[in-house]
Amino acid sequence: MIKKISIDELEQGMEVVELSSEMWKHLPYLYTDPGIIESSEQIATIKKDGYQQVFVKVDNADGQSDEKRLDALLQREDTPLGTVRTPFSEAIQTASVTYESAMSYAMRIVNDAKLGRKIDYESAVETASAIVDSAVSNPDTLICLSKLSSFDNYTYTHCINVAAIAVVFGEFIGMSRDDLILLGMAGMMHDLGKTTVPGPIVNKAGRLTKYEYEEMKRHPAYGCSILSKSTSIPTKVLKAIRLHHEKFNGTGYPDGLKRKDIPAFARILCLADIYDALTSDRCYKNAILPNKALGIMYGMRDQDFDSTEVQLFIKCLGIFPSGSFVRLNTGNYALVFESNPKQPLYPKIRVVMDKQMHPIKAMDIDLANQIPDEFGSVEIMECADPSGYRQNLMEFMTLQ
């Protein structure tokens, strides 16, 4: 399995893993050169160069692979269930309108922040409330939109995706409606402070220098000072924004707080932030498939995240999060539109393309309740990369 460890735990013979994301190479403290660690001298050099963390392959004491462990976790019977949801095909229409108007709001506040104007608090409450309504009605719609929407400006989509994912997770763990609205607001505004950080640093493709990274680390504080101009922003929201880069083991910023001192809102924003960053296309990296991203996040437990919390997060999104593009045993391709917490390997899917990725007449299948034909049952073989298909996948999901 892959695990993120402190550089002090790095030993000769360990294999440094190359993760298929450029996101990590951006960070000056993460060692990313793949290969076996040959000598103690090599470790000493890595330490001397100032690296603090590294992803390595480690053996599990019980010999169980990460995939097996995750499968077992996801199969457990105590999955929270019970809320009656609106069917996806009905809820997606309202959720799309909510997502679109949230996007306009994100554009507005990012602009206001750049121009030093006050942030419109009333609209923040309104927008976050609509996101909460959608999450309660059918959480899959928001998760789907966060991956498949055709908006492609990361600055704005990331604000809204983090809000949507955080709210969906908050709802999953039973947060009150009032708290969910505050969490949604914190999600929308969590990176507003990046408008104060110089553009060349925010958009730099390569590794940041130490100086650039120090400047980048100020964005949570910058965000709070922008928002403090609007007197009505609740303290809970400001705290979540200020602390959304703190980590479980105390290696985060700005205060280096440990798990027990990081507020729940900030811990949730951190999970949603990393998941969306990993699974989004950006100028300097290609998106990681949702199931792979969750596997990487699982390997970050006890370092970045509380182990129980990251497992709950994975459970909330499922093995195949809504919006996942999957290849079937028939060779056709489908989009997952409704996860199945009781049987995570058998979500509801919409078959949309043939083996050659040519669109076909859409057909919905509930994998948990299908009647096998003469060729047997339809099964998901793997998550597939939809980047070769250049059209807007979301159009398939809004078909009636």
Q: Which residues sit at the interface with Fe ion, rule CB under 5 A?
A: 191
Q: Between residues 191 and 309, which has the closer beta carbon with respect to Fe ion?
A: 191
Helix (H) or strand (E) holding 141: helix 139-148
Query: Least distance from C-beta 241 to Fe ion, angstroms?
Result: 9
Compute the residue count for the chain: 400
Q: Between residues 191 and 212, which has the closer beta carbon with respect to Fe ion?
A: 191
Residue nearest to Fe ion (CB): 191
- What contacts 76, CB < 8 A, 6 or more positions away? none
Distant-in-sequence contacts of 341-348, Cβ < 8 A, 24+ apart = 341/79, 341/80, 341/81, 341/315, 342/79, 342/81, 342/368, 343/368, 344/74, 344/75, 344/318, 344/319, 344/320, 345/71, 345/319, 345/320, 345/380, 347/318, 347/320, 347/322, 347/380, 348/88
Q: Between residues 29 and 389, which has the closer beta carbon with respect to Fe ion?
A: 29
- What contacts 4, CB < 8 A, 6 or more positions away? 53, 54, 55, 299, 300, 303, 304
Q: Between residues 191 and 276, which has the closer beta carbon with respect to Fe ion?
A: 191
Query: Least distance from C-beta 7 to Fe ion, angstroms?
Result: 23
d(CA 293, CA 334): 19
Q: Between residues 191 and 246, which has the closer beta carbon with respect to Fe ion?
A: 191
d(CA 345, CA 71): 9
Q: Between residues 240 and 319, which has the closer beta carbon with respect to Fe ion?
A: 240
d(CA 323, CA 146): 8
Query: Least distance from C-beta 274 to Fe ion, angstroms?
Result: 10
Q: Between residues 191 and 338, which has the closer beta carbon with respect to Fe ion?
A: 191
Strand partners, 334: 326, 351
Residue with tokens 């009150």: 176
Query: Least distance from C-beta 331 to Fe ion, angstroms?
Result: 41
Query: Least distance from C-beta 191 to Fe ion, angstroms?
Result: 5
Q: Between residues 171 and 191, which has the closer beta carbon with respect to Fe ion?
A: 191
Query: Least distance from C-beta 190 to Fe ion, angstroms?
Result: 6
- From the list 262, 240, 90, the residue with the least C-alpha distance to 180 is 240
Query: Least distance from C-beta 277 to Fe ion, angstroms?
Result: 9
Query: Least distance from C-beta 144 to Fe ion, angstroms?
Result: 24
* Residue 372, preceding peptide bond in cis (omega within 30° of 0): no
- Yes or no: say if 98 and 184 are a contact pair by the CB < 8 Å rule: no
